[in-house]
């Protein structure tokens, strides 16, 4: 299979310019490691701030990849930065970041925070002290955020997340295509790699963004439809029948489960179901919580939180994460070749 070489693949030494993002309450050690084994980069999540669970996931990943205790771990870890910022005593937040860094992970991902630069400094200080070279991914939702993250904070990779994205994101984000294009236009050529996130379903979509000048792509929703994600069969079945039109940006899910405190402008895209309908109709939150608790216990997708991006309508099968990455690799190469073949060689004599 032809190799794909982009700023991202060279920077983090991967074969396929695809990353599976940290997905709170959803990613798993086996998902992250299978994506890495497929040639991309898989991320673990610190969820909503459970350091013990994170340590366990890191140990599991190490076991799955059969890497000894002192070896580098070729996966990343992502933090919902506002959850780190909730700890007024920052040593508790540092515990979490240090758990990842002491495992010598390849990358740390920061998103949805008010003081992301201070957490980046923690990574840089650690690296200096321990002679490591951890790459920092920062999720951005506007050109302005991209400028700050790259110029002021020195982010190594910009994750340009558009409005189509599944899970949490900025309600003010432009569509992924516009966001990626404007970031590439306004940042210098030698700036950090830009990866596209939001609404992508397959290798053709990734190839389209590579031809625009992006260095890679993030697919979240697509990896929910793998046996390795923590979604239940009922949640996966709902995703398989969902269409782009059946997703909605909402805070209903956060209200119901009490995960509140997101920075201004952040909400999440999920599948419209009874939770969203009844929240919008004004049902009292306690009653709604009771219905969700009961519905979840019988695996009823109408009463479960199911995040999804707009690309969900094109996702028709459940497949192992490693094979998925390998197949997308092939599709990217096929599409890029087909694109190049559209250019006619100049005719001699013309
Ligand atoms: C279930 C789910 C959970 C997510 N959790 C996080 C998270 O914890 N941190 C984060 O930065 N992004 C999170 N995201 C967003 C992803 O980073 C990514 O931007 C998004 O999945 C891309 O859009 P797509 O789902 O249409 O591929 C999540 C997405 C999903 C689907």
Whether residue 322 has pLDDT greater than 70: yes
- For the stretch 119-162, pLDDT in tens is 999 999 999 999 999 999 999 999 999 999 999 999 999 999 99
Ligand 1 atom closest to Cα of residue 26? 1
Determine the Cα–Cα distance for residues 209 and 321; give it in Å rounded to an integer: 21
Q: Does the beta carbon of 44 lie inside 6 Å of ligand 1?
A: no
Q: Mean per-residue pLDDT for 98-110?
A: 98
Ligand 1 centroid, distance to 26 Cα (angstroms): 10
d(CA 158, CA 136): 9
- Count of H helices and E strands in the chain? 15, 11
Looking at residue 325, what is its pLDDT?
98
pLDDT of 187 higher than 80: yes
Asked if residues 154 and 127 have their Cβ atoms less than 8 Å apart, the reply is no
Task: Please state the rounded mean pLDDT for residues 8-15.
Answer: 98
- Is residue 195 within 8 Å of residue 284, measured between CB atoms? no
Q: How many CB atoms lie within 10 A of CB 165?
A: 31
Closest among 193, 208, 80, 83 to 146, alpha carbons compared = 193
Ligand 1 pocket, 196 CB below 6 A?
A: no
Res. 319 pLDDT band, cuts 50 70 90: very high
Atom of ligand 1 at shortest range from CA of 309: 26
How far is residue 308's CA from residue 311's CA, in Å, rounded to a whole number?
8
Ligand 1 atom 18, closest CA: 220
Q: Is 199 in the pocket of ligand 1 (CB under 6 A)?
A: yes
Give the domains, in start order, of the chain with CATH numbers: 7-229+317-340 (3.20.20.70), 234-303 (no CATH)
Which residue, among 225, 233, 205, 196, has the nearest Cα to 328 in the 3D structure? 205
Q: What is the pLDDT of residues 229-247, one digit of tens each?
A: 999 999 999 999 999 899 9
- Across the chain, mean pLDDT equals 96
Give 203's contacts (C-beta < 8 A, 6+ positions apart): 327, 328, 329, 330, 331, 332, 334, 335
pLDDT bucket at 348, cuts 50 / 70 / 90: low
Residue 76: strand pairing partners: 43, 107
| Residues 6+ positions from 127 with CB-CB distance below 8 Å | 101, 133, 134
CA atoms of 173 and 142, how far apart (whole Å): 6
Bridge partners of 137, per DSSP, are: 109, 157
**Residue 347 reports pLDDT greater than 90:** no
């Amino acid at each position: 299979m032809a190799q794909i070489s982009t700023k991202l693949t060279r920077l983090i030494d991967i074969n396929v310019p695809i990353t599976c993002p940290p997905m709170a309450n959803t990613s798993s050690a086996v998902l992250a490691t299978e994506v890495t084994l497929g040639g991309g980069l898989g991320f673990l999540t610190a969820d909503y701030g459970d350091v013990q669970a994170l340590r366990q996931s890191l140990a599991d990943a190490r076991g799955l990849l059969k890497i000894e205790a002192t070896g580098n771990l070729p996966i990343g870890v992502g933090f919902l930065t506002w959850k780190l910022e909730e700890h007024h005593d920052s040593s508790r937040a540092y515990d979490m970041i240090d758990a990842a860094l002491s495992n010598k992970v390849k990358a740390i991902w920061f998103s949805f925070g008010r003081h992301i630069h201070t957490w980046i400094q923690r990574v840089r200080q650690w690296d200096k002290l321990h002679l490591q070279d951890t790459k920092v991914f920062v999720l951005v939702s506007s050109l302005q955020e991209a400028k700050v993250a790259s110029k002021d904070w020195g982010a190594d990779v910009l994750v340009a997340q558009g409005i189509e994205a599944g899970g949490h994101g900025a309600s003010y984000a432009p569509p992924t295509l516009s966001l990626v294009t404007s970031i590439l236009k306004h940042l210098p050529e030698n700036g950090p790699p830009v990866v596209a996130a939001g609404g992508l379903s397959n290798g053709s979509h990734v190839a389209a963004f590579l031809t625009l000048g992006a260095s890679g792509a993030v697919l979240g929703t697509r990896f929910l439809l793998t046996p390795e994600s923590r979604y239940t069969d009922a949640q996966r079945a709902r995703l398989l029948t969902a269409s782009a039109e059946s997703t909605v940006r909402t805070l209903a899910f956060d209200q119901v489960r009490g995960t509140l405190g997101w920075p201004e402008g952040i909400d999440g895209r999920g599948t419209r179901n009874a939770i969203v309908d009844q929240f919008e109709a004004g049902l009292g939150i306690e009653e709604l919580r009771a219905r969700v608790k009961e519905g979840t216990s019988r695996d009823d997708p109408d009463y479960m939180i199911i995040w999804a991006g707009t690309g969900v309508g094109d996702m028709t099968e459940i497949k192992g994460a490693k094979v998925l990455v390998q197949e997308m690799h092939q599709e990217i190469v096929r599409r890029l070749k087909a694109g190049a073949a559209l250019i006619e060689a100049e005719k001699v004599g013309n």
